[in-house]
A and B are shown apart, each in its own frame.
Chain A
């Protein structure tokens, strides 16, 4: 059963440190999305890619967040420097890009705690 794989599952770091989260989308999926989940804001879209090209990253704080797809099997989300308000669960999702009726498949998330 194909699934989206995210690493690490948990990350605890100190304020000011760099954090890198990784995602392996489902093979053959050409769209990749990064979401952030917090109790207060719910699920927020941070960025998304199609065929490895960034389409929209307007949901990300540009000064500290960056998202890339070095190749079709890896997407990364980096925070530098991290701040306590970045504490959240970060989800990666991928989809086949076959129209708006195509569901997204989510990984189990990276739970980030910044102290």
Chain B
């Protein structure tokens, strides 16, 4: 079945550092890919998405490119802020699962001043 693998955290960075969180997937067909972010005590919020190969999703300085050849959707940000501290989830949606999201385990990010 479909699956998503994320790099394990926690990831600790200093403010203004460059962020990469790796995500790879296994899926049949042509899934859509998402990054969600979860702040403490809250639900998941959509950060960005890409629906086909070579699409780049971007939001709030975060970017991820849908790479079908490497089955990857790595999240990047050029300069992180303390407010970016949260848990980040990579997910995929496929037509064969009723559009349910299949999530990775999540990567905790802590940004220090």
Binding site for B on A (CB under 8 A): 4, 31, 33, 42-43, 45, 48, 50, 55-56, 91, 93, 95, 97, 99-109
Complex Cα gap A45–B31 (Å): 17
State which size class the interface on B falls in. Answer: 20 to 34
Q: Is the CB of B98 within 8 A of A48?
A: yes
Contacts of A106 on B, CB cut-off 8 Å? Answer: 36, 43-45
Our count of residue pairs bridging A and B at CB distance below 8 angstroms stands at 60
Complex Cα–Cα for A24 and B90 (A): 25
Given contacts A33-B100, A48-B98, contact A101 B51 (CB under 8 A): yes
- For B30, give the chain A residue with the smallest CB separation: A100
10 examples of A-B residue contacts, CB within 8 angstroms? A42-B104, A42-B105, A45-B102, A48-B100, A91-B43, A100-B94, A101-B49, A106-B36, A107-B43, A108-B43
Task: Give A95's nearest chain B residue, CB to CB.
Answer: B99
Q: Which 9 A-B pairs have the closest CB atoms?
A: A106-B43, A101-B51, A100-B93, A43-B103, A103-B46, A42-B105, A101-B32, A106-B44, A100-B32
